Structure 1
Amino acid sequence: MDRTRPLSWRGRLRQVVALPLALVVAGVLASGTASGAAPEAEPGVPSGAMAVAAAMQPSWNLGNSLDAIPDETAWGNPPATRELFETLRAQGFRSVRIPVTWSNAQSTTAPYTIDAKFMGRVKQVVDWALAENLYVVLNMHHDSWQWIATMPADHDNVLARFTSTWTQIATTFGHSSRRLLFESVNEPTFTNADDAQKVRLLNELNTSFHRVVRQSGGRNATRLLVLPTQVCTPDQGLMDDLATTMESLRDPNLMATVHFYGFWPFSVNIAGFTRFDETVQKDMTDTFARMRDTFTSKGVPVYLGEYALLAYDYTRPGIIERGEVLKYFEAVGNEARKSKVVTALWDAGSFLERHTLQWRDPDVLAQIKSSWTTRSGTASSDLVFVPKSTPITAKTLTLNLNGTSLRGLWHGDTRLREGRDYTVSGDQLTLTATALTKLVGDRAYGVNSTIEARFSRGVPWRINVITNDAPVLSDATGTANSLTVPTRFQGDQLATMEAEYADGSAAGPANWTRFQEFYTTVRPDYPGGAIVLPPAFFEAVREGEPVTLTFHFWSGAELTYQVTTSGASVTGTAS
């Protein structure tokens, strides 16, 4: 998105430094002057920022713990333990980001003292991670929107609190290992400020953070510091603004940070973006290219402080189809490796179950781990539907080899025979009717069997063979602006929903697209045999005006349904 960025402010800031960022880094490294002094030697810790970044890959977030409001367990996770970090290290993670909301235990008036017990708890958790030989990124997290966002209207108080907070943190951790990094602020934003003000205020926060930490002495004099863009967005203009700030600091011990949750419509399943298609892929490749061109190609490391998918949530499975999730994570790892970007998985509890220290979906973890070092083959889908009401016929998928070669297909320990059970022509993989007849067995609705496509490297691609028939919807009535539509899914799975008025305009909260956001406005209840339309959908629907819904299923089936509101009642009619 284009941004209005006044030249007057940017010009004044550019006058501070006329040298390119790469030359500044090289020059300061050579001179060892001011904040560019050579880091104190520490066994096992590289001296250069890019080398440290390489040693930190891959990374993981302790999300919704020390950043939870009002306390560590408020958002459903148990207290962090040393065993947690042992588990992460054993799984191949080399660093962790520990988000902290300091306002949980801080005076709101000068001198903004942080409670000693809370500071002690943060240090305990950091020390546990360091003891497991992990790098640690410690930050200021939800403070960004709680009080830092008010900086335009309350500049002096916010700046005073910000500098006091970092003074206390820097003092506490001044002699900690250089494997500890400080991140100035998470996703900084400013209320009621124009673009020029936002640039100026974030520059002020980042430079104040830099000054406070460097002046605190000890290992903080050369500790690697992590600076964000506005809202940690990898927009080119915002990264240029950050690059300008970093140039002005003339310090090689700096790292840029941004976040990435993918192409937003795909990341939440809205506007019909149910697949990891060319548009979604291009958004990803373009984003990493910007990181590479702006920073890493010039010797400045980038920490992708958060990445995942916005709608990936174990409490709401299926918002994004699982195979599309796997393709996304496979591609993120590839792009990060090409761009030399450190990736920190955002995990608020959806990946690692912290009570048991077990991964909720081992296949997803395997795909993420594999992507750190190599590519994996995938396919156009991980779902093959075999209708029960018609004779069984061959089914074809498109292979995404990603530089690998197909070794073959397996059903459990049994290798399927090419020619009899499947054929390959170019990138087309076809399962024969003979093989599918065996795989569907007694043809009960749902997943009958799972086969694996194995490639020359990476993880296998699992394909679910499903018996289905077209879903059947029934009429229904509802109250309080919600509706439960009785549905016989018959083995099928809901992908998305269109909603439109008779004139063709979009109906529902997202009035710019007919395809409404999954789960927020429509969600399947497979055990209950229903499709649920929650209040959020009807709150944005015009009373008395019929709305035509089109339910899209992963088998390719499309069913229409009409709903009408009248006062507090809702009626639904199957077509």
Structure 2
Amino acid sequence: MTSTAVDIAARIRLGINIGNTLEAVGGETIWGNPMITQALVDKYKALGFDAIRLPCSWDFYSNATTAKIDATWLDRVKQVVQYCINANMLVLLNIHWDGGWLERNVTVDKKDAVAAKQKAFWEQIATHLRDFDERLMFASANEPSCDTAAQMDVLFTYHQTFIDAVRSTGGRNAYRTLVLQLPNTNTDLAKTLWTKTPTDTVANRLMVEPHFYSPPNFCILTEDASWGKMFYYWGKDYHSTIEPDRNATWGEEETVDQHMALANSLFVSKGIPVLLGEYGAPRRSTPLDMTMHLASRAHWMKYVTQKALANGIMPFLWDTGDLINRQTYAVKDQQGLDALLEGAGKK
């Protein structure tokens, strides 16, 4: 447990989420993915990933009155963490969306009740996983809704509660690296709202976590919105002449450059590692210029990965089963995988 957060960050060039699985409300397989196996984790390792982010649900598995988490679920999560450790991968375990009990209640009126649940959950999670070494990290939340200074004060309370709860369990948790989510996991918001770093009983064991899905027209939209159209083609050299109305009109390479430089300036340059917990762009089925669409998507994945690392930021792809077949472990998206590996300097 001797490595600082900076030491641990230096070991991660490419991470991946095992999404839509442990965080699936209603059971690990209910959102269509199979249970996580040692073979799946080993495959990620063999493909070139250094670390795994495990989005996880807890509220569904807890008693609504006492907040006691089901022992069987704690054991299952421990088993999956062990798979990652067996593969000598770093692993980040969080409390994910989880029905929104924290994520949608970063408010003064809910602060005491949410903080009490945050404390109860993390005391149990940390105690159950206390014996894992420094390769296991904990993350306070996922994407907390927070847009104002008043909400940020509440979010600081939730993060402080998390830190205090984990540290209180002792043992290796007294030194474990912990990850704190920026408001709305948005670096631009952090520029004005992140006015302090929560206190810790041990030095140099904290990281912060933004996410990156920009421009949302390219990364998120599944239909045209009132505020903008879907983009199918991204990057100055990847615009389509066949379908020019779907070319990106904003948010291209210069936006990535600015975002990553800002995260570096606010945190990395001050000795606080930045873990990019989620980023990604989907393969769409409707572009008329499919070859250019896939090429521009690969360019986005490579470029964001490359620029994150150039600014000292650890990139973790958001994946829900699109990169490899989680039943057979065959690669489903070789072009995307190659782009990630090239961006990470692994190919």
TM-score by length of 1: 0.53
Query: For the Cα contact (< 8 Å) 2:177–2:207, is it kept in 1?
Result: yes
What is the identity, as a one-letter code, of the residue corresponding to 2:63?
S
Match of 1:234 in 2: 187
- Where do residues 289-328 of structure 1 align in structure 2 (5 Å cutoff)? 289-309=261-281, 312=282, 316-318=284-286, 321-328=293-300
Equivalent residue for 1:169, pick from 102, 116, 125: 125
Match of 2:312 in 1: 340
Match of 1:140 in 2: 95
Query: For the Cα contact (< 8 Å) 1:151–1:159, is it kept in 2?
Result: no
Query: For the Cα contact (< 8 Å) 1:246–1:254, is it kept in 2?
Result: no
**1:182-207 CA deviation, whole Å, 9 max, x = no partner?**
000010126xxx71321111000011
Task: Give the superposition deviation at 1:272.
Answer: 6.3
**1:187-242 CA deviation, whole Å, 9 max, x = no partner?**
0126xxx713211110000111111111211011110000011121121x425544
Task: Give the superposition deviation at 1:243.
Answer: 5.8
2:213 pairs with 1:255: no
- Greater strand share, 1 or 2? 1
Change in CA separation of 1:78 and 1:239 when aligned onto 2, cut-off 3 Å: farther
Equivalent residue for 1:266, pick from 215, 218, 233: 218
Match of 1:180 in 2: 136
SS in 1 for 2:219: helix
SS in 1 for 2:210: strand
Query: For the Cα contact (< 8 Å) 1:188–1:231, is it kept in 2?
Result: yes
Match of 1:214 in 2: 167
Alpha-carbon distance between aligned partners in 2 of 1:209 and 1:272, rounded to the nearest angstrom: 38
Displaced runs of 4 or more, over 6 A: 247-250
Change in CA separation of 1:249 and 1:274 when aligned onto 2, cut-off 3 Å: farther
2:20 pairs with 1:64: yes
Structure 1 stretches lacking a partner, 5+ long: 1-39, 42-46, 375-457, 459-575
Task: Give the superposition deviation at 1:277.
Answer: 3.5
Alpha-carbon distance between aligned partners in 1 of 2:113 and 2:160, rounded to the nearest angstrom: 17
**1:378-420 CA deviation, whole Å, 9 max, x = no partner?**
xxxxxxxxxxxxxxxxxxxxxxxxxxxxxxxxxxxxxxxxxxx
Query: For the Cα contact (< 8 Å) 1:228–1:242, is it kept in 2?
Result: no
Change in CA separation of 1:50 and 1:151 when aligned onto 2, cut-off 3 Å: closer
**1:251-283 CA deviation, whole Å, 9 max, x = no partner?**
311011110112122324653643323531121
Alpha-carbon distance between aligned partners in 1 of 2:235 and 2:271, rounded to the nearest angstrom: 32
Alpha-carbon distance between aligned partners in 2 of 1:216 and 1:248, rounded to the nearest angstrom: 14
* Matched pairs, number: 322
Match of 2:104 in 1: 149
2:56 pairs with 1:100: yes
Structure 2 stretches lacking a partner, 5+ long: 222-227, 237-249
Task: Give the superposition deviation at 1:103.
Answer: 1.3
Query: For the Cα contact (< 8 Å) 1:59–1:95, is it kept in 2?
Result: yes
Task: Give the superposition deviation at 1:151.
Answer: 5.2
Alpha-carbon distance between aligned partners in 2 of 1:287 and 1:183, rounded to the nearest angstrom: 22
The structure that has the greater radius of gyration is: 1
Query: For the Cα contact (< 8 Å) 1:144–1:188, is it kept in 2?
Result: no
What is the identity, as a one-letter code, of the residue corresponding to 1:159?
A
What is the identity, as a one-letter code, of the residue corresponding to 2:92?
V
Task: Give the superposition deviation at 1:56.
Answer: 2.3
2:265 pairs with 1:288: no
**1:511-554 CA deviation, whole Å, 9 max, x = no partner?**
xxxxxxxxxxxxxxxxxxxxxxxxxxxxxxxxxxxxxxxxxxxx
What is the identity, as a one-letter code, of the residue corresponding to 1:55?
R
Change in CA separation of 1:355 and 1:259 when aligned onto 2, cut-off 3 Å: same
Equivalent residue for 2:79, pick from 120, 124, 131: 124
**1:462-490 CA deviation, whole Å, 9 max, x = no partner?**
xxxxxxxxxxxxxxxxxxxxxxxxxxxxx
Alpha-carbon distance between aligned partners in 1 of 2:195 and 2:47, rounded to the nearest angstrom: 34
Alpha-carbon distance between aligned partners in 2 of 1:370 and 1:130, rounded to the nearest angstrom: 25
Query: For the Cα contact (< 8 Å) 1:144–1:185, is it kept in 2?
Result: no
Alpha-carbon distance between aligned partners in 2 of 1:177 and 1:215, rounded to the nearest angstrom: 17
**1:117-156 CA deviation, whole Å, 9 max, x = no partner?**
1111111111111111010100000126245523533332
- Where do residues 316-395 of structure 1 align in structure 2 (5 Å cutoff)? 316-318=284-286, 321-373=293-345
Alpha-carbon distance between aligned partners in 1 of 2:6 and 2:98, rounded to the nearest angstrom: 29
Task: Give the superposition deviation at 1:92.
Answer: 1.1
Change in CA separation of 1:274 and 1:363 when aligned onto 2, cut-off 3 Å: closer
SS in 2 for 1:303: strand
TM-score by length of 2: 0.87
Match of 1:472 in 2: none
What is the identity, as a one-letter code, of the residue corresponding to 2:285?
P
Match of 1:159 in 2: 115
Match of 1:114 in 2: 69
**1:284-337 CA deviation, whole Å, 9 max, x = no partner?**
11110111111112221110000102xx15xx5346811110110121122012
Query: For the Cα contact (< 8 Å) 1:234–1:291, is it kept in 2?
Result: yes
Match of 1:44 in 2: none
Match of 1:568 in 2: none
- Greater helix share, 1 or 2? 2
Equivalent residue for 1:78, pick from 14, 34, 37: 34
Task: Give the superposition deviation at 1:81.
Answer: 0.2
Alpha-carbon distance between aligned partners in 2 of 1:57 and 1:352, rounded to the nearest angstrom: 19
Query: For the Cα contact (< 8 Å) 2:41–2:83, is it kept in 1?
Result: yes
SS in 1 for 2:233: coil
Query: For the Cα contact (< 8 Å) 1:63–1:99, is it kept in 2?
Result: yes
Could you say what the CA RMSD is over the residues aligned between the two structures, in angstroms?
2.1
Change in CA separation of 1:272 and 1:180 when aligned onto 2, cut-off 3 Å: closer
